[in-house]
A = this chain, B = another copy of it.
Amino acid sequence: MDETDLNRYNIDWYNQVRGKSKIVIKPKTTEEVSKILSFCNEQMLAVCPQGGNTCVSGASVPVFDEIILSSDLMNKIISLDENSGVLVCQAGCILENLNNYVADKHLLLPLDLGSKGSCHIGGNISTNAGGLRLLRYGSLHGNVLGLEVVKASGEILDCLSTLKKDNTGYHLHHLFIGSEGTLGFLTKVAIQCPPQSKAVCLAFLAKNELGEILSAVEVIDTPSMDTVNEHLKLSSPIGKHEYYLLLETKGSDEGHDQQKLNKFLESVLNTNLISDGAIASEPAKYHAMWALRERLPEAFLHDGYVFNYDLTVPLEYYYKLVADVREHVGSRAHRVFGFGHLGDGNIHLQVSVKEFSKQMKQHIETFLFKKIKELNGSISAEHGVGFLKAPHLSSIKNESSFKLMKSLKALMDPNAILNPYKVLEN
């Protein structure tokens, strides 16, 4: 593999962490993963598990020269039960491919991300990816039914239950959801796919009243819209406003859904909370609207260096936080902007600057993390801890949780070969 090829595996999506590994291994089967890990464990060789490498907290790239264990070639779909909606596949399947596969049976994956064209389902689960459908279908802890995992020792752990309800013994697979490859390497996945909704409506505008059909509420602010407009030439369908809300419904009867949506819009327009709006139900218009939100992370890459934070805050502070940070950094930043999953209290806050500097990073984070702690929020709503937030973990977790995390790590990976320097810094 030459340097350019290796870069794809060594550098993360936001170009924030650069490893210098010379070895990428791409097993095809669980047994191959088992042999590789068993060997590495005996030889005390550090291993960095990697899926589609779309993680933005540095969990999926090596920090030094760890061996990259990639799920690139573990992309087989094993089974789909059309009655129950249970999909079983290898961990390296690309999210979008899975979604297309189950769409034929009128099912959909319970998660959807901007990076769907390259992220792996195993990586999604290892990092407990949230994304755009969480509001409706819930987190992966609710949707992943079972996992097959190879432990650091090479031992294959079979928790690949495909049952919606199985209450026999400890629910072991949850240990691996969100542990970012530090406790084991995911090889197979069983996931519950909900039925596709017959009717999808999208409105460019807030929550309540729509109840069971509401599947996503996304908020975009002016500077975010400016960034997409400037770098990707995409523009708002309703002119310039301070905030934009993107609201999606998914129901079984299009007439009912449009009635509910229209009734809702009418009532909010009457309250003057909303100044304008557009509704899309045809696919082209629908995709153009979603692109405004989905392509935001892509647009940033053109906006100098971007410090990005993935936060959960109480709803009443949701946007005030962006304003506070904007005031704090003042003219030292090019743009401070926020967008995200309003329905979950999850905001993606971005500060773009000409170029990276340690001082600026510290200036932002000292202020921001103190604020988040005061608000009882989370400094990583969905992106995980990875390498970038690992130094902060001991200060945000209480001592008892941190200690138990360390004990679990020691139990599962006594030689600490799996994804070192990430999450727990060991």
Interface residues of A (CB under 8 A from B): 81, 83-84, 127-128, 130, 134, 138-139, 141-143, 155-159, 161-172, 174-175, 177-179, 183, 195, 197-198, 208-213, 250-253, 256, 259-260, 310, 312, 314-316, 341, 344-346, 376-385, 389, 393, 396-398, 400-402, 404-405, 407-408, 411, 423-424
Contacts and interface: CB of A to CB of B under 8 A. Distances in A.
Contact of A142 (B142, B159, B167, B168): B142
11 contacts: A84-B345, A130-B167, A141-B141, A142-B143, A157-B404, A166-B312, A197-B212, A198-B211, A211-B252, A256-B256, A407-B411
> Which 4 A/B pairs are nearest by Cβ-Cβ distance?
A142-B142, A211-B252, A174-B174, A166-B378
A314 B85 CA distance: 12
A198 to B, nearest CB: 7
- Taken together, the copies of this chain in the complex come to 2
Nearest to A57: B167
Nearest to A165: B381
Contacts of A400: 155-158
A167 B401 contact: no
A414 to B, nearest CB: 11
Given A165-B345, A168-B389, A169-B393, 12 more contacts: A84-B314, A130-B165, A159-B401, A165-B382, A167-B178, A167-B382, A167-B383, A174-B175, A211-B251, A212-B252, A253-B260, A256-B260
B411 A379 contact: no
A401 B174 CA distance: 13
Contacts of A316: 83
Contacts of A310: 167
Contact of A396 (B81, B168, B404): B168
A163 B213 contact: no
Considering residues A380, A404, A411, which has the most beta carbons from chain B within 10 angstroms of its beta carbon? A404
Given A260-B253, A345-B163, A378-B166, A171 B172 contact: no
Nearest to A162: B376
Contact of A252 (B210, B250, B380, B411): B210
Contacts of A312: 163-166
Contact of A401 (B169, B178, B183, B195): B169
A252 B378 contact: no
A94 to B, nearest CB: 21
A127 B376 contact: no
A124 to B, nearest CB: 12
